[in-house]
Amino acid sequence: MTGFDIMFYVIAALTLFSAAVMVFSKNIIYNAMGLLAAFFGVAGIYVMLGADFLAATQLLIYVGGILVLLLFGVMLSQRFSGTEMRTGTLQVVPAILVCAGIAAILLRMIWQTPWQKVEIGAPAPTTKTIGTLFMTDYLLPFEIVSVLLLAALVGAAFIGRRDAR
Amino acid sequence: MQELIATLQNGQTFFASLPPAILTLIFMALGAVLFATVMALNALVAVYAERKISAWMQDRLGPMEVGPQGILQTLADAVKLLLKEDIVPAAADKKLHMFAPFLVFAAPCAAFAALPYTREFVFANFDIGVFYVASITSLSVIAILLAGWASNNKWALLGGMRAAAQIVSYEIPAGLAMIVIVMQAGSLNFNAISLEQNGGIFHWFILRYFPFNLIAFIIFYIATLAECNRTPFDLPEAESELVGGFHTEYSGFKWSIFMLAEYAEMLVVALVGAALFLGGWSSPFGSFMNGGAWGVFWFAGKAVFIIFTHMWLRWTLPRLRVDQLMHLSWKVLTPFSFACILGVGLWMLI
Amino acid sequence: MQVGLTHFLVLGAILFCLGLLAVITKRNAVTVLMGAELIINAANINFIAFARYLDKDIDGQMFGIFVIVVAAAGAAVALAIVLNIYQRMRSVNLDEADSLLG
The verdict on B110 and B222 lying in the same domain is yes
Q: Is residue C102 part of a domain?
A: no
Cβ C38 vs Cβ A38: under 8 Å? yes
CB contact under 8 A, A153 and C76: yes
Domain boundary among A88, A115, A143: A88
The verdict on residue C52 lying in a domain is yes
CA B3 to chain centre: 28
B32: Cβ contacts below 8 Å, ≥ 6 apart: none
Cβ contact B157–A75 (<8 Å):
yes
Interface of A with C in 98-127 (CB under 8 A): 98-100, 102-103, 106-107, 110-111, 115-118, 120, 123, 126
Q: Chain centroid to CA B171: how far?
A: 13
Decide: A35 and A70 in contact? Cβ < 8 Å: yes
Q: Give the domain-ending residue among A41, A62, A88.
A: A88
Chain B contacts to A (CB-CB under 8 A): 21, 24, 93, 96, 99, 126-128, 131-132, 134-136, 138-139, 141-142, 145-146, 149-150, 154, 157, 161, 164, 168, 171, 188
CATH at residue A30: 1.20.120.1200
Q: Is A24 a member of any domain?
A: yes
Tell me if A61 is assigned to some domain.
yes
From A68, A88, A108, give the residue that closes a domain. A88
Domain co-membership, A131 together with A56: no
Domain that holds residue A134: 125-165
Per-residue pLDDT of chain B (350 residues; tens, 9 = 90+): 666 666 666 665 555 566 767 777 887 888 888 888 888 888 888 988 888 888 888 888 888 888 888 788 888 888 888 888 888 887 777 888 888 888 998 888 888 888 888 877 777 778 898 999 999 888 989 998 988 888 877 778 888 888 888 999 999 999 999 999 999 988 898 888 888 888 778 888 888 888 899 999 999 999 999 988 887 877 776 655 656 677 777 777 888 888 888 899 999 999 999 999 998 888 888 777 776 778 888 888 999 999 999 999 888 888 888 889 899 999 999 999 999 999 999 999 98
Considering only CB atoms, which chain A residues are within 8 Å of B146?
A: 29, 33, 71
CB-based contact B171:A64 (threshold 8 Å): yes
B5/B144 same-domain check: no
Coil, strand or helix at A14: helix
The dihedral over CA atoms of A8, B103, A52, A47, expressed in degrees to the nearest 10, equals: 0
Mutate to test the interface with A, among C8, C32, C38, C85 (most CBs of A within 10 A): C38
Please state the rounded mean pLDDT for residues C37-63.
91
**Buried b / exposed e along B246-283 (16+ C-beta atoms within 10 A):** bbbbbeeebbbbbbbbbbbbbbbbbbbbbbbbbbbbbb
Q: Which of B231, B236, B235, B237 is nearest to B309 (CA)?
A: B231
Split chain A (165 residues) into runs of 10 and give each run's mean pLDDT: 85 96 90 94 93 93 92 80 54 88 94 81 84 92 95 91 66
Same domain flag for A84 and A7: yes
- Counting the structural domains of chain A, the total is 2
pLDDT at position B229 is: 82
Tell which of B52, B76, B100 closes a domain. Answer: B76
pLDDT tens-digit readout, A88-114: 666 788 899 999 999 999 999 999 988
In this structure, are B42 and B182 located in the same domain? no
Q: State the smallest CA–CA distance between residue B137 and chain A in angstroms.
A: 9
Q: Containing domain of residue C47, as a range? A: 5-96
Same domain, A21 and A73: yes
Decide which of B27, B53, B76 is a domain's last residue: B76
* The Cα angle at residue C47 between residues C43 and C48, in degrees rounded to 5: 120
Does B168 share its domain with B282? Answer: yes
Rounded to whole angstroms, how far apart are CA atoms B296 and B275? Answer: 11
What stretches of B209-252 show up as alpha helix (H) in DSSP? 212-227, 239-242
Per-residue model confidence as pLDDT tens digits over C2-11: 888 899 999 9
Based on the structure, what is the number of domains in chain B?
2
Q: Is B280 helix (H, G, I), strand (E, B) or coil?
A: coil
- Same domain, residue pair B300 and B337: yes
In a domain, A11, yes or no: yes
Is residue C101 very low, low, confident or very high in pLDDT (cuts 50, 70, 90)?
Answer: low
Task: Tell whether B128 and B33 lie within a shared domain.
Answer: no
Of A3, A64, A80, the CB nearest to B21: A3
Same domain as B303, residue B187? yes
> Is C101 within the bounds of a domain?
no
- A160/C55 Cβ within 8 A: no
CA-wise closest residue to B213 among B348, B349, B329:
B348
Q: Which of C8, C21, C29 sits opposite A49 (nearest CB)?
A: C8
pTM: 0.90
Do B144 and B269 belong together in one domain?
A: yes
Q: Using one digit for the tens of pLDDT, what is the confidence trace for A124-136?
A: 888 889 999 999 9
Please check whether residues B125 and B57 belong to one and the same domain: no
Residue C92 lies in a domain: yes
**A69 shares its domain with A11:** yes
Question: Are B132 and B259 in a shared domain?
Answer: yes
Same domain, B128 and B257: yes
Q: Residue C86 belongs to a domain with what CATH number?
A: 1.10.287.3510
Q: Which of B32, B52, B76 is the last residue of a domain?
A: B76
Together in a domain, B98 and B232: yes
Show the domain range for B23.
1-76
A contact residues 22-81, partner C, Cβ 8 Å cutoff: 22-23, 28, 31-32, 35, 38-39, 42, 45-46, 49-51, 53-54, 57-58, 61-62, 65-66, 69-70, 72-74, 76-77, 79
Q: Where is pLDDT greater, at C72 or C93? A: C72
Q: Is the pLDDT of residue C35 over 90?
A: yes
Find all residues with CB under 8 Å of B282, minimum gap 6, and list them.
B194, B197, B198, B199, B200, B203, B204, B290, B295, B298
For residue A89, the model assigns a pLDDT of 63
CB-CB contact of A138 with C63 (8 Å): no
Count of structural domains within chain C: 1
pLDDT of the residue at B239:
54
Determine the Cα–Cα distance for residues C75 and A35; give it in Å rounded to an integer: 14
Residues in C closer than 8 angstroms to A12, CB to CB, are: 7, 11
Question: Is C53 among the domain residues?
Answer: yes
